[in-house]
Each structure stands twice: as C-alpha cells, then as structure tokens.
Amino acid sequence: MAGFRELRQRMIDYQLLARGLSDQTVLDAVNAVPREEFVPGELVEFAYNDTPLPIAANQTISQPYIVALMTAELELKPGDRVLEIGTGSGYAAAVLAEIAGQVYTVERIKSLADTARKKLEELGYGSIRVLHGDGSLGWPEHAPYDAIVVAASGPKIPETLKQQLAIGGRLVLPVGTSLHTQTLLRVRRISKDTYQQEDLGGVCFVPLIGAAGWEDKTG
C-alpha cells in the first residue's frame, strides 16, 4: 500500500487539480495537513478517498475536495482572521491555519470540540482556538473576521455571521431548506449595510443546529 504522503499527493492530483482547483496556496495547505490524523483509526486507509467519512457523534469529515474548494473560495491571505463554524474533526481548521494568521472555530458537540482541540495541539496548530458553543451565533468576541466558513447547512444565511464579517470579508456557507441538497454561497461584505452574494453550486452538508439554524430534534 502506498504511504500517506503519496496518497495525499494522488488526492491533490486526481481530486483537486483534475477538477480545476488550481489555487497553489490552497494545494500547498492541503498537502501540509495529515488528513489520516483526523479520521477514526479504523478508517485511515480511506483518509484520502474523495468522500466524506463518519466521525464521532454522528458527524462527518467533509470530502477533501469540498474542504479545498471552500478554502479557495474564502480568498485567504496570510494574516487573515478566520472563523470556522463546525469544527468536527479539526481537519478543515488545520488547512485554514496553514494559510491564515488566526483561526477561531466553534463546535456545538462538546466531545468533538475537546477531541479536535487536543488533536490540533498535538499537531502543533497553536494558532487555532476551539470553542464549544452554538456556531450559528458565531464568536462575536473576536469579530470582525476577514473570512467565515460554515461546515453545516442552515435554512438561511445567519444574520449574526454577516454582522461579524469585516468590510471586504467573505462568508462561504451551504444554505437550503432540504437536508439532502443545498447551495454553496459566497457572501461578500461591501459596506456596513451592503452584501454581495454568489452561487457556487450544489452541495450536501449536515444540518446547522442552533439559534440561527435548525432546531435540535435529537433531545
């Protein structure tokens, strides 16, 4: 079997480059992060497959292409302050941290937040701050953000997140009333009260649970 470094390069060649994702900064960031460290032990052989994988608490780690695509659409620059909603395994936060200056990430499930925080610290990602809380409300203490990315789908764009964007900031998130297919949007804050919205295509994400998302029906 090929080693993880070789599998990672194949993923970049056949899943990212072959599908038109050519942002070298993002490709380098993906190449720097060991995805195998963020998937359950029994699934490491599938770490670089072009598919989401199950993690704890009935959540998923997004497929590598989607993580890379959303990162590219954020148009990150070194030194940017980034907010991620939906930490999950911590993988996407690590990719973001390879480019941005400071990454803040919010996870509503405490066990996932704790596990991701520990894993990110182990791997040396000291610039990432992990919060256990309602991600649909953002993390206002550290706003404004140059970029916000949401790894779960809500029925509409949370106003709370739009307000935490810096002028010129970019918000990338899936939105839709169906739990099976949503639209990936990029929202750019032009001025205090003006936002520009772009459709980036169809996607499928787990639901965004919280005050500005879907109601939690599990409890």
Identify the CATH number of the domain in which residue 75 sits: 3.40.50.150
Residue 24 located in a structural domain: no
Residue 153 located in a structural domain: yes
Choose among 39, 41, 162: nearest CA to 90: 39
Choose among 156, 150, 133, 157: nearest CA to 206: 150
Split into its structural domains, the chain has a count of 1
Contact at 8 Å (CB) between 175 and 197?
A: no
The pLDDT of residue 1: 52
Choose among 94, 106, 87, 211: nearest CA to 159: 211
Q: What is the pTM of this model?
A: 0.95
Residue 161's domain comprises 66-203
- Per residue in 199-218, pLDDT (tens digit) is 999 998 888 889 988 887 75
How confident is the prediction along the chain (219 residues), in pLDDT tens digits per residue?
Answer: 579 999 999 999 999 999 999 999 999 999 999 999 999 999 999 999 999 999 999 899 999 999 999 999 999 999 999 999 999 999 999 999 999 999 999 999 999 999 999 999 999 998 899 999 999 999 999 999 999 999 999 999 999 999 999 999 999 999 998 878 999 999 999 999 999 999 999 998 888 889 988 887 754
- Per residue in 127-155, pLDDT (tens digit) is 899 999 999 999 999 999 999 999 999 99
Residue 178 located in a structural domain: yes
Residue 42 located in a structural domain: no
Q: 165-170: which pairs have CB atoms within 8 A and are 24 or more residues apart?
A: 165/189, 166/81, 167/191, 167/192, 169/144, 169/145, 170/73, 170/74, 170/75, 170/146
Cα dihedral 78→81→86→88 (10° resolution)? 50
Residue 11 located in a structural domain: no
Residue 44 located in a structural domain: no
Give catalytic residue positions.
Answer: 62
C-alpha radius of gyration, the chain, whole number: 16
The vertex-188 CA angle with 182 and 193, nearest 5°, equals 115
Residue 144 located in a structural domain: yes
Within 13 Å of residue 185, how many CA atoms lie on the same side as its CB?
Answer: 22
Residue 31 located in a structural domain: no
